[in-house]
Amino acid sequence: MKKIIIAFLLWINSVSVFAQDNGIEMADTLRSNGKIYVVVVCIVIILAGLLGYLFSLDRRLKKLEKK
């Protein structure tokens, strides 16, 4: 089991090194125009909405389980 975990960690490390080699032009353009912050804010809003929905769903399920 240890060998599998070590191999997986080494594989993840090598993938991240290869991912840093290529330049992403769209991200560079958005960053230079300052629009990358708009993208980040939209992603944060979407994730916050999903988390809020999941927590409210969890509360409702707990109420149903108590009944």
> Mean pLDDT, consecutive 10-residue segments, the chain of 67 residues?
80 64 69 84 96 95 92
Residue 28 included in any domain: yes
Residue 10 included in any domain: no
Range of the domain at 61: 23-67
pTM across the whole model: 0.55
Residue 49 included in any domain: yes
Residue 30 included in any domain: yes
Residue 59 included in any domain: yes
Residue 1 included in any domain: no
Residue 38 included in any domain: yes
Residue with tokens 């070590």: 6
Residue 31 included in any domain: yes
pLDDT at 54: 96
Please tell me the distance from the alpha carbon of residue 14 to that of residue 28, in angstroms, as a whole number: 23
pLDDT at 64: 93
- Is residue 34 left, alpha or beta, with left meaning phi > 0 and alpha meaning psi from -120 to 50? left
